[in-house]
Structure 1
């Protein structure tokens, strides 16, 4: 992979319910329109309730080029873990989009020489 390609892509892994993973992916695809439009169709091949057999991780590679619309508060059925892998500032852009759509309960960072890893725990946004 070339340095140019790796600098605009952010890996996103969601641990939890399939429907909640789709909600996260839909927010990211709306915010970053260059992201693979076929993600939902590929993930649909997994049977509903797959998580009932053990932990399930859903993944997507976000093309963090160009910005689309950012969703307002989006509901989740339950809190979920989201891991982000990439470089700054693209990883920060993806994190900011997730923060605008979901509540962030906790956040942990691991920085490498060129890439970073961020673990978020997303929750339904708090409404007042």
Structure 2
């Protein structure tokens, strides 16, 4: 596990997906956590794996925000790393917008990591 920036930071890493799917997931997070915009860049070199990442501050969470998930054309593997409460909060936002199946968990006293497979609700 990596080290989050502070107690309210949650690092979100997306793998096994293209740019459009990453954008759909990050749009949901941007709606729930204003002021956090990932740089999706060019998407790397063809045929090479890409990890899309974003750090959100759970302090910036808009209460009651229920962003609708855009359709995902493919499944997305997400890894959430941060404080247990922060990871739970961000995971809840994603589960509210997409189908979310937990595929792994690494517990820790001050930091945890949760792996989730996201698919569209369509």
Structure 2-normalised TM-score?
0.84
Question: Which residue of structure 2 lines up, in the alignment, with residue 46 of structure 1?
Answer: 42
Question: Which residue of structure 1 lines up, in the alignment, with residue 82 of structure 2?
Answer: 86
Over 6 Å off, 4+ runs? none
The structure with the largest helix share of the pair is 1
Question: Which residue of structure 1 lines up, in the alignment, with residue 61 of structure 2?
Answer: 67
The residue matched to 1:72 in structure 2 has which SS?
coil
Structure 1-normalised TM-score?
0.80
C-alpha change, 1:6 and 1:92, in structure 2 (3 Å) is: same
Two-structure CA RMSD over aligned residues (Å): 1.8
Q: Please list every run of 5 or more consecutive structure 1 residues that lacks an aligned counterpart in the other structure.
A: none
Q: Please list every run of 5 or more consecutive structure 2 residues that lacks an aligned counterpart in the other structure.
A: none
**Higher alpha-carbon Rg:** 1
Q: CA deviation at 1:101?
A: 0.5
Are 2:113 and 1:117 aligned?
Answer: yes
* Count of aligned positions: 115
The residue matched to 2:84 in structure 1 has which SS?
coil
Q: Write the distance in 1 (CA, Å) between the matches of 2:116 and 2:12.
A: 11
Question: Which residue of structure 1 lines up, in the alignment, with residue 10 of structure 2?
Answer: 10
C-alpha change, 1:70 and 1:30, in structure 2 (3 Å) is: same
